[in-house]
A and B are shown apart, each in its own frame.
Chain A
Amino acid sequence: MAHGMQNKAKGVLTIAGLLFLVLVSGMLQTVAASPKVICTVDTDRAVLPAGESQNVVLKVTLDAPPVPAGTRRPKVNLALVLDQSGSMNGTKMAQAKAAAVEALTRLSRQDVFSVVVYDTNVHTIVPAQSAGYVDRIIRIIENIQAGGNTALFGGVSQGAAEIRKHLENDFIHRIVLLSDGLANVGPRMPEDLGRLGAALLKENISVTTVGVGTDYNEDLMARLAQNSDGNTYFVESGVDLPRIFAAELGDVLNVVATQVNVTITLPDDVTLVEIIGREGRIMGQRIELFMNQLYGGQEKYALVEVRLPAAGEGDQLKIAQAEVHYQDPFNNQPEVSRGTSHVSFSHDPVQVKQSANRDVVREYQLNLKALAQEKAIDLSDEGRQPEAVMTLKDSADKLKQVGRLYGDSELLKEAEAVEAQADQIEEKGMSKKSRKVLRTQSYQQKNQQVSQ
């Protein structure tokens, strides 16, 4: 860790921060061996061209440690909200039941489990209770019958009410919503459900959304998941449901940090251009981001583009400091982790090029691709399909170009996938399925969702 020669106040702050870190980590080593979330701040290039004002991409990475062996995992408070409208009848319903049972059997006695079903009305068929009552709950799940409309809003509300029965306790709160159709009872605009998601996030409840088939509203499902920091999935047939539920439970049972607040502070002479792929609050030179949960062994990040003032050859500049506050679910103690980023300046283009951080570049490009996918959806919705195809093709070209420049095979593979999507849309138009694939992929990329 290099120290820049900046103004004294900041230096003191940094030293104080470091001291705190040492203190805290020392305490942790003596109290518990639970490893911490590591926060790092990287730039796309460590060395920048001197003498000009320029934009730099910052990547604030949260590296969640794997769950330490032999630790008791945090208790989980899970509500399944299942669509039992008429369209679910048949295989989808059977697989949804199997998936619900799959989820239940992965929980243990200490966890809380509830099931809400909705058609035109909403029914809590399994009120929040210990997940240990496996036989009783399975019997109830097996009796679910499909029929009626889709009161999605009411279903999620009821699921949240079941979660709230144990809100005071130290649980990982999660609603898993499954739907295969358009919400037609209650609020149904993606924006409304997005707001519901945001409100639930304030109570530390995340909603994971699983869309089945090609008739559900992917915008609504993605917004709800995005605003509540849950995962989102698209499965074409019911057959994949048990696998998806298993993957989701894998995430939920693997939480190593909750209520994750990321604060990025920029020095006065650095200005924010935009936050890429995430929604954050901007308070002057401070950017605040919130994530509900981090899963063990997973890397989450935020990308921020900033504008730097011109600097001379050899100068070193601290361009951002990130601070992560979170709750350690193993011992319910607040934790903090910090990271800082420095860059230096040079007139030598070779040095600049060599200093490129491929990881940052790749993630930046992948997020740009996600944004391009969203733009393509918007354009296609407006009936401007050729432009939508162009947007995707441009994005593919850009991925290819950057991929070749850095010899990054992942980017090249991604470029091919995007190109294939573009070709398909050009040929057959934006099908319901393509739209769902684009929407889901884009969100999964922006949210760094691991299980897909």
Chain B
Amino acid sequence: MAAGMTHKRSILFFWALILVPALVMSGAAYRLLSHEQDRISRSAQEALMERAAAISETIHMTVDTVKDNLVRSLMAIDPGTLTPTLQDWEKTNPLVRNVFIFEPTETLLYPEKGMAATPEQQQFIARFDALFSGRMTFDHLGGPGGPEPPRGMAAGSTAANASQGDARRQLVTLSRADRSPAARVGAQAHMEMEKAADSPEQGFSSGWLPWFSENRLHVLVWVQSSATSRVYGLEVELVTLLSRLVVDFPALEDAGSAIVLTDGSGSVIHQSGQIEVSPESRPLSQKAVSSLLPHWNMEIFVDEDRPGGTRGFFYLSMILVGIFMAAILSGGILLTRMTLKNMKDARQKTSFVSSVSHELKTPLTSIRMSAELLLSGRVSDEKKKARYLSVMVSESERLTRLINNVLDFGKLEQGRKRYRLESVVVDRFLTQLIEAHRVRITAQGLRIVTQIESEDFTIRTDRDALEQVVLNLMDNVLKYAGTGEYIEFVLARKAQTVVLTICDDGPGIPKDLQEKVFDKFFRTDSSLTATQPGSGLGLSISRRILRDLGGDLHLEPGKKTGCCFTARIIDHDTDNDSGG
């Protein structure tokens, strides 16, 4: 028991040695990896934010340039051709949704209210009714988005021009009054610089007026001449503006993130990146796009849990750490199992040596005592002499069997046992064997029952090996079923197999141990085995021999009590594959 305790303690210690460092290591790996992941995610998010900010900046600059160009173009219109020029813009310029001319002291000069207006114009008048009815002035908005002289913007807008994509460049071109190809090709930057220098805008006030109607953004660009106080301008077609802006939106390669442009009501205007953005999803960051387009936001969404998303590095690394841990643990389990098995084997070998020594000693003692008695010359009775001699012979035979078993065991273990096949008439062989051991059996008080079918039992097999098997089985019965009444030998033939069953009516073997009796060194743990000497080798060797010869050995419960060993012996007459 004390030895068991130390074993358990050493295994526990062993496990502690493996588990503690492994756990510490995986914990440290987890911490390090999450840190690293956070750093990666943060830098990815920052890159994304910078990107979004750059897009916002470009949009703002483009819209700003559009605004300046529209204002300048409006100011540059000859007052004499104001109405036809504006009408032409409305008809041909995609960036112009509506145009208007408004006399603050009188009324709206164009579009005319009533029948002549198209449905679009009627909606326009209704939308901006607060302005056109004089309830609100055009420059009611201060600060950004309100009237703002476009001076000093020229440099900025040329810079914007240089970095613009095709669509934005076209947009800026649209916002100029003169859209004829000649003017477009030639004097782009030049025109802006010149206009800024010319300053026709002196004597004008102007503005970019974001206007919310039915929760939707509309933008009015207006100019007012201080000379006539007449206000005129146009409503920007935001759909065109947007349609051009979204085309230059950069595509996001990363599957786990999205840059999204949203309007005042939070609905998505445009999206770059594959995440599904629902109204419930919360953006990682949100920033206004431009003061010129109030409530339009640039939002960033990151899907952290997506496999290909930003946490991919972390998951991948954790999988690797997991594999590493699994390898350590399974290695530990394997080592523990091997250690336990070795310990068990060592214990069994110790008990084997002591029981074999004991078994060797018993017949030796008998032989020695008989020999000493004979040598002393005090035994004169011939009958007694003969008995002592026969004891010496039978004990020597027992000794031989035991030594054969031990030798065979060694050979079988190393796979060196060789079989010699010869023709054996099994029924005769069995009868002779029973006759040879009849005395031993009957001395135990057992009745011999034989049941041999009348068939031809001539087969090719190893006679000595077979004899060893039968003797082992017989010894087993004599050792453990000596309390019973009979030993039964049943011989039958099924095609190439001879089946020999040896049954007894002894105490039998518990069901859960029925397979274990074939393990080497195994002896059932009971009062019976404790009183009987034994190596625990006989059954193990028998099964090995039969299996080597192509057959098998099984244990079944007996009819009432006891048990039956069934040996299947293969005829190697037609089967060329001889065992060994």
- Give residues in A with beta carbon < 8 Å to B: 120-123, 148-149, 151, 153-154, 156-158, 160-161, 164-165, 168, 185-187, 192, 195-196, 199-200, 202-203, 279-284
Q: What are the residues of chain B within 8 A of A156 when measuring CB–CB? A: 243
B276 within 8 A of A: yes
7 contacts between A and B (CB under 8 A): A121-B252, A151-B270, A153-B242, A156-B243, A157-B244, A195-B97, A196-B239
Distance, CA A192 to CA B243, complexed state (A): 11
Give chain B residues whose Cβ lies under 8 Å from the Cβ of A282: 115-118
Chain B 235-248 per-residue mask, 1 if CB under 8 angstroms from chain A, else 0: 00101101110110
| Interface check B271, CB cutoff 8 A | yes
Given A151-B271, A164-B170, list of 14 further CB < 8 A pairs? A120-B273, A121-B274, A122-B246, A153-B243, A156-B243, A157-B247, A160-B243, A185-B271, A186-B270, A186-B271, A199-B237, A202-B91, A281-B91, A282-B118
Interface residues in B267-285 (C-beta closer than 8 Å to A): 268-276
Q: Which residues of A contact B252 (CB under 8 A)?
A: 121
Interface pair B239/A195, CB less than 8 Å apart: yes
Residue of B nearest to A161 (CB): B247
Chain A CB within 8 A of B517 CB: no
CA A122 to CA B167, docked complex, whole Å: 15
- The winner among A122, A149, A156, A202 for most chain B CB atoms within 10 A is A202
Residues of chain B within 8 A of A195, CB atoms compared: 97, 237, 239
Contact, CB under 8 Å: B251 / A121: yes
In the bound complex, residues from chain A placing their C-beta under 8 Å from that of B271 are 120-121, 151, 154, 185-186
CA–CA, A120 and B275, complex, Å: 8
Report the Cα distance A200→B95, complex, angstroms: 10
For the complex of A and B, list the 7 residue pairs with the smallest distance between their C-beta atoms, beginning with the closest.
Answer: A199-B94, A157-B243, A161-B247, A199-B240, A195-B239, A202-B94, A196-B239
Is B93's CB within 8 Å of the partner chain A? yes
Which residue in B116, B166, B272, B275 is a CB contact (below 8 Å) of A284? B116
Residues of A within 8 Å of B274, CB to CB, are 120-121, 148
Decide: A196 and B240 in contact? CB cutoff 8 A: yes
Inter-chain contact B94/A157, CB cutoff 8 Å: no
A195–B87 alpha-carbon span in the complex (Å): 18
Q: Is the CB of B243 within 8 A of A196?
A: yes
B276 touches A120 (CB 8 A): yes
Query: How far, in whole Å, are A148 and B170 apart by their CA atoms in the complex?
Result: 30
Summed over the interface, the residue pairs from A and B with CB atoms below 8 Å come to a total of 86
CA distance A350 to B269 in the complex (A): 62
Interchain nearest-CB distance for B95 vs A (Å): 8
State whether A186 and B93 are in contact (beta carbons under 8 Å apart), knowing that A153-B246, A157-B243, A281-B118 are contacts in the complex: no
Provide the residues of chain B in CB contact with A165, threshold 8 Å.
Answer: 166
Measured in the bound complex, the distance between the Cα atoms of B270 and A357 in whole Å is 52
Which chain A positions have C-beta within 8 A of B87? 283
A114 to B96, CA, bound (A): 27
Q: Which residues of A contact B95 (CB under 8 A)?
A: 199
Which residues in A have their C-beta under 8 angstroms from that of B247? 157-158, 160-161
Instruction: Give residues of chain B (36-88) contacting chain A, Cβ–Cβ below 8 Å.
Output: 87
Contact of A121 among B170, B242, B273 (CB under 8 A): B273
Q: How far apart sit A161 and B117, CA to CA, in the bound complex (Å)?
A: 32
Determine chain A's interface SS by DSSP, over half rule: mixed
A282 nearest in chain B by CB position:
B116
User: Are A192 and B239 neighbours in the complex by a CB distance under 8 Å?
Assistant: yes
B181 within 8 A of A: yes
**Residue numbers in A under 8 Å from B167 (CB-CB):** 161, 164
The CA of A164 and the CA of B168, in the complex, are separated in Å by 12
Interface flag for B451 (CB, 8 Å): no
What sequence of 0s and 1s flags, for each residue 86-107 of chain B, a beta carbon within 8 Å of any chain A beta carbon?
Answer: 0100011111010000000000
CB distance from B166 to the nearest CB of A (A): 7
Chain A residues with Cβ under 8 A from B119's Cβ?
A: 279
Residues of B within 8 A of A121 (CB): 251-252, 271-274
Q: How far is the CB of B420 from chain A (nearest CB, A)?
A: 73
The contact of B93 among A158, A202, A283, by CB within 8 Å, is A202
Q: How far is the CA of A56 from the CA of B500 in the complex (A)?
A: 120
CB-CB contacts below 8 Å: B510-560 with A: none
Closest Cβ neighbor of B268 among chain A residues: A185
Please report the C-alpha to C-alpha distance between residue A120 and residue B276 in the assembled complex, in whole angstroms. 8
Known: A161-B166, A283-B116. A203 touches B94 (CB 8 A): yes
Q: Nearest Cβ in chain B — how far from A287, in angstroms?
A: 11
CB distance from B260 to the nearest CB of A (A): 9
Chain B residues lying within 8 Å of A199, measured Cβ to Cβ, are 94-95, 237, 239-240, 243
CB neighbours of B181 from chain A (8 A):
168
Q: Return chain B residues, CB-CB under 8 Å to A280.
A: 118
Chain B nearest Cβ from A61, distance in angstroms: 23
- Residues of A with C-beta under 8 A to B251: 121, 123
Question: How far is A327 from B87 in the complex, measured between Cα atoms in Å?
Answer: 21
B268 surroundings in chain A (CB, below 8 A):
185-186
Contact residues in A for B94 (Cβ distance below 8 Å): 199-200, 202-203
What is the CA–CA distance of A165 and B268 in the complex, to the nearest angstrom?
27
Bound Cα distance A149, B94 (Å): 28
Q: CA–CA, A157 to B94, complex, Å?
A: 13
Contacts of A120 in B (CB 8 A): 271, 273-276
Q: Which residues of A contact B246 (CB under 8 A)?
A: 122, 153-154, 157-158, 186
CA distance A164 to B165 in the complex (A): 13
User: A285 to B508, alpha carbons, bound, how many Å?
Assistant: 122
Taking CB atoms, residues of chain B closer than 8 Å to A164 are 166-167, 170
Q: Mark B382-418, 1 if CB is under 8 A from A, else 0.
A: 0000000000000000000000000000000000000
Nearest Cβ on chain A to B117's Cβ, whole angstroms:
8
Residue of B nearest to A151 (CB): B271
Would you give the shortest CB distance from B287 to chain A, in whole angstroms?
Answer: 19
Closest residue to B96 on the A side, CB-wise? A202
Do A202 and B239 contact each other (CB < 8 Å), given the known contacts A123-B251, A157-B246, A186-B246?
Answer: no
Complex contacts, B275 vs chain A, CB 8 Å: 120
Q: Which of A157, A158, A192, A283 has the most CB of B within 10 A?
A: A157
Q: What A residues does B272 contact at CB under 8 A? A: 121
**Docked complex Cα distance between A148 and B255 (Å):** 12
In the docked arrangement, what's the CA distance between A122 and B252, Å?
A: 11
Chain B min CB distance to A337 (Å): 20
- Please measure, in the bound complex, the distance between the C-alpha atom of A121 and the C-alpha atom of B268, giving whole angstroms: 12
Within 8 A of A (CB), among B196-238: 237
Least CB distance from A168 to B in Å reads 7
Q: Which residues of B contact A196 (CB under 8 A)?
A: 239-240, 243
Contact of A279 among B93, B118, B243 (CB under 8 A): B118
User: Are B242 and A187 in contact (CB-based, < 8 A)?
Assistant: yes
- CB < 8 Å: which of B97, B170, B270 contacts A185? B270
Q: A165 to B167, alpha carbons, bound, how many Å?
A: 10
Shortest distance from the beta carbon of A223 to any chain B beta carbon, whole Å:
12
Contacts of A122 in B (CB 8 A): 246
Closest chain B residue to A284, Cβ basis? B116
How far is A449 from B531 in the complex, measured between Cα atoms in Å?
111
Which residue on chain B has the smallest CB distance to residue A201? B94
Residues of B within 8 A of A153 (CB): 242-243, 246, 270
Complex Cα distance A158/B272, Å?
A: 13
Q: Which residues of A contact B269 (CB under 8 A)?
A: 186-187
Across-interface contacts of A161 in B (CB, < 8 A) = 166-167, 244, 247
Residues of chain A contacted by B93 (CB below 8 angstroms): 202
Q: Which residue of A lies closest to B94 (CB)?
A: A199
Give Cα A157 to B93, complex, Å.
16
Q: Please determine whether B270 and A202 come into contact, CB atoms closer than 8 angstroms.
A: no
Expressed in whole angstroms, the Cα–Cα distance for A379 and B181 within the complex equals 48
Please give the distance in Å from B84's CB to the nearest CB on chain A: 10
Nearest CB to that of A280 among chain B residues?
Answer: B118
Q: Closest residue of chain B to A148, judged by CB? A: B274
Chain B residue nearest in CB terms to A197? B239
Once the chains are docked, how many angstroms separate the CA of A121 from the CA of B246?
11
Q: Kindly state the separation between the CA atoms of A160 and B245 in the bound complex, as whole angstroms.
A: 12
CB distance from A202 to the nearest CB of B (A): 4
Distance to closest chain A CB from B483 (angstroms): 80
| B59 vs chain A, min Cβ distance (A) | 14
In B336-352, which residues have CB < 8 Å from any A CB? none
B residues less than 8 Å from A185 (CB atoms)? 268, 270-271
